[in-house]
């Protein structure tokens, strides 16, 4: 909805240059290992053992990637991971938006306690949650299903989703809702027509976090699945017995979709970190 974010041009003062240098260093620190994984994954399988390491894939080869993707169970696992990620996003937003709205707009008894409890979900190690959940899901006939993993990922994503949604809704002046209500809509209508459209960016960021969380989560996914693992669970399960090129290819396959997703959601990401919207 908003026009491109315009930043005033500033002169490159020494402080700014220093800040850029620091940002560059941190970025390189994070990205270099990923880059090395990508290089290793895109080389012929034998080149993985070369020393010194190549800094670019030479010769370029999709042999490792093809081998990885053709391995038994990888493609279905990738599909399941995508489905679970999307389900997690949908469920987390469907539950997190109303909760976030309540925290943002209503003064109700026990509001502070609720906020504390929301965050405290993350205080439980997933280990403690996963075992009883596995038993419960077996009883419910949900074990080893896409839905069970998506439900657990939703629980893990909800605290951040709720807090992000609440902070995003707080940025919409309540006068806008009141104006809409005075013109004949219900509160729900005002939220639907005014608050949600104005919160797209922030909710997009919340969706991003939920997806990446689900995409990367391995422990709950490994405990709750046997024959139908997610991609990380599949890779972790196969890691011990697989050759090195397979591992690098797996690493790249895990990283790329998340990177692509983040790339497309990046304006939303910035808004979640409080960068001003125009």
Partner 1 sequence: MAGITIESITKSFAGVTAVDNVSLTIEDGEFMVLLGPSGCGKTTLLRLIAGFDLPDSGRIAIGDRDVTDSPPGRRDIAMVFQSYALFPHLRVSDNIAFGLRMHHVGKDEVTSRVREAAELMGIEALLNRYPTQLSGGQRQRVAVARALVMRPSVILMDEPLSNLDALLRLQMRAELKHLLQDIKTTTVYVTHDQVEALSMGDRTAVMRDGAVLQCASPMEVYDRPGDIFVATFIGNPPMNIVRAVARDSVVKVEGVEVALPEASNLPAGTEVSIGIRAENIEVHTEALDGALPATVAVIEPLGSHLLLTLAVGAESIKASVRTDFAVKRGDPLWLELRQGSVRLLGSANQSGPSD
Residue from 103, 166, 180, 212 that binds partner 1 (CB under 8 A)?
180
Closest CB to partner 1 among residues 56, 192: 192
Pick from 86, 89, 97, 92: which is nearest to 199 by CA?
Answer: 97
Could you tell me the end-to-end alpha-carbon distance of the chain, in angstroms, rounded to an integer?
Answer: 10
Q: Is 276 in the site for partner 1 (CB under 8 A)?
A: no
The verdict on 178 binding partner 1 (CB under 8 A) reads yes
Tell which one of 49, 182, 263, 276 touches partner 1 (CB under 8 A): 182
CB of 178 to partner 1, least distance (A): 5
Are 83 and 75 in contact, with CB atoms under 8 Å apart? no
CA neighbor of 142 nearest in space, from 262, 251, 228 = 228
Task: Identify which of residues 1 and 128 has a Cβ nearer to partner 1 in the complex.
Answer: 1
Contact flag: residue 235 with partner 1 (CB under 8 A)? no
- Asked whether position 74 contacts partner 1 by CB under 8 A, the answer is no
Q: How many of the other CB atoms lie within 10 Å of CB of 123?
A: 7
Long-range contacts of 232-239 (CB under 8 A, 24+ apart): 232/81, 233/77, 234/73, 234/74, 234/77, 235/77, 238/71
38 three-state secondary structure: helix
Binding mask 196-215 for partner 1 (x = CB under 8 A): -xx-----------------
**Segment contacting partner 1 (CB under 8 A): 12-20, 182-190, 207-215, 262-270?**
182-190
Closest CA to 215 of 149, 271, 125: 149
Query: Is position 179 an interface residue for partner 1 (rule: CB under 8 A)?
Result: yes
Per CB under 8 A, residues contacting partner 1 are 1, 173, 175-176, 178-186, 189, 193-194, 197-198, 278
């Amino acid at each position: 909805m908003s026009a491109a974010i315009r930043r005033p041009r500033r002169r490159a003062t020494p402080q700014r240059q220093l800040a850029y240098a620091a940002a560059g260093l941190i970025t390189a620190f994070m990205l270099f290992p990923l880059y090395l994984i990508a290089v290793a994954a895109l080389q012929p399988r034998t080149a993985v053992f070369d020393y010194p390491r190549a800094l670019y894939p030479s010769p370029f080869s999709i042999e490792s990637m093809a081998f990885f993707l053709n391995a038994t169970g990888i493609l279905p696992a990738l599909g399941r991971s995508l489905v679970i990620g999307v389900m997690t996003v949908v469920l987390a937003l469907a539950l997190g938006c109303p909760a976030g709205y309540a925290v943002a707009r209503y003064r109700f008894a026990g509001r502070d306690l609720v906020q504390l409890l929301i965050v405290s979900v993350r205080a439980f190690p997933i280990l403690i949650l996963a075992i009883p959940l596995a038993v419960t899901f077996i009883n419910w006939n949900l074990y080893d299903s896409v839905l069970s993993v998506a439900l657990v990922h939703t629980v893990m994503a909800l605290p951040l989703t709720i807090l992000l949604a609440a902070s995003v809704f707080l940025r919409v002046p309540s006068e806008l809702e009141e104006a809409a209500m005075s013109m004949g809509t219900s509160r729900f209508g005002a939220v639907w027509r005014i608050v949600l459209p104005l919160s797209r960016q922030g909710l997009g960021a919340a969706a991003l976090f939920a997806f990446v969380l689900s995409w990367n989560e391995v422990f709950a996914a490994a405990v709750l699945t046997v024959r139908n693992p997610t991609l990380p669970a599949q890779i972790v399960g196969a890691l011990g017995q697989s050759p090195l090129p397979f591992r690098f290819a797996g690493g790249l396959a895990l990283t790329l979709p998340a990177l692509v997703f983040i790339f497309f959601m990046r304006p939303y990401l910035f808004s979640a970190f409080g960068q001003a919207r125009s």
